[in-house]
Amino acid sequence: MSNGRSENHNSNIVSDVAAAGGCGLKNLANGATCGLPARHSGPCDFMAPGAVPGALHDKGIELQAEPPTT
């Protein structure tokens, strides 16, 4: 799943957020994830991981649901 963004393979990037067009930078110290669009200007807006889908939805970015695990 490569969309030309090499940071999708970086351990501090949340891949589903990045693949959907969000920044996805993860603060490794506390697990917070940036909820802004990819390549945003200015600093990241870190929030609890559960809040990221709603924040991205408000900006017109939808995360794909993860397939169920078996």
Over residues 12-58, the pLDDT tens digits come to 888 888 888 889 999 999 989 998 999 999 999 999 877 887 888 78
This model's pTM is above 0.75 = no
Q: What is the DSSP letter of 61?
A: -
Of 52, 66, 60, 57, nearest to 13 by C-alpha is 52
CB 43 within 8 A of CB 59: no
Q: What is the DSSP letter of 30?
A: T
Q: Residue 41: which residues within 8 A CB-CB, separation 6 or more?
A: none
CB 59 within 8 A of CB 25: no
Give the pLDDT of residue 9. 58
